[in-house]
Amino acid sequence: MPTYLLTIAYHGTTFHGWQQQDGFRTVQQELTAAFARIGCPGVHVEGAGRTDAGVHAIGQCAHVVLERPFAPDRLLLALNSNLADDVAVQAVRLAPDGFHARFHAAGKRYGYRVVTAPVRPAIGRDLYHWVRRPVDLGAMRAAAQCLRGHHDFASFASNPGYARKRGTTRTLHHVHLLARPGGWLFVVQGSGFLYNMVRNLVGSLLEVGYGNRRPAWLGEVLAARDRRAAGPTAPPHGLFLLRVLYAKDLSPAGEEPGVTPAAGADGELPQDPATIE
């Protein structure tokens, strides 16, 4: 039975997250229903990770195992013809037998959008986090330097049970704060992320940007390994899953999912981070 890798985009505002839940509309549920409409009932759509309610995706990935083969371009067309306007399959690729969207991932890239303005914007409020206070982007960049590398990110994990099960040590390969017209974009790429980790990082960076904390404080928070030491959790609607990283041949990432980067993983950021969208 063939395995397919799907790349998916969705507007998270209209979904109660990725994972199927009784009584709620979710992305996984919509994709499962679309497969049923094209003659593939009961298919399990396994995502590379779970996004929460309100979180958006440009490059979420998932895999499916089907009982009959489809040409990837035909499967792409068939699925999108049976999906609502707020979710779309961007690409379909035939994957090797045994491929797993989550276990074979070498890492992920997230972006968090912030608009800074004294007056509340009237348009697009569900696609960014609005803050009325000006921020010191230079101070935030100085603070963020301590985040790169292999660290225990327990201070930025919102779910202690999840942290105990899988540990809280992760590797961040790229951390960028990019100026944008009317605001800024936080882009982070790493081997894996804890529950609410990106949103907790943004909330803490904002404390520095507001001048409430000095840049060195973020390093102290990291060393504390205590969620109570960090800043508040930023809201979900500014967060985008930009990309899931895999080896070019879709081989496994390593013994522990999402921790050891796969050889030849196609996920390096541009030399000039200002080119990242």
Amino acid at 132: R
52 flagged as catalytic = yes
Beta carbons within 10 angstroms of residue 17's beta carbon: 19
Whether the CB-CB separation of 71 and 256 falls below 8 Å is answered with no
Q: Which of 134, 147, 217, 228 is nearest to 187 (CA)?
A: 147
CA–CA separation, 87 and 248 (whole Å): 25
* DSSP state letter for 24: S
Calpha distance 244→146 (Å, rounded): 24
Amino acid found at 162: Y
Given the residues 22, 52, 136, 249, the one annotated as active site: 52
Question: What are the residues whose beta carbons fall under 8 Å from the beta carbon of 131, sequence distance 6 or more?
Answer: 114, 115, 116, 206
What single-letter amino acid sits at 58?
A: I
The phi-psi region of residue 139 (left if phi > 0; otherwise alpha if psi is between -120 and 50; otherwise beta) is alpha
Indicate which residues carry an active-site annotation.
52
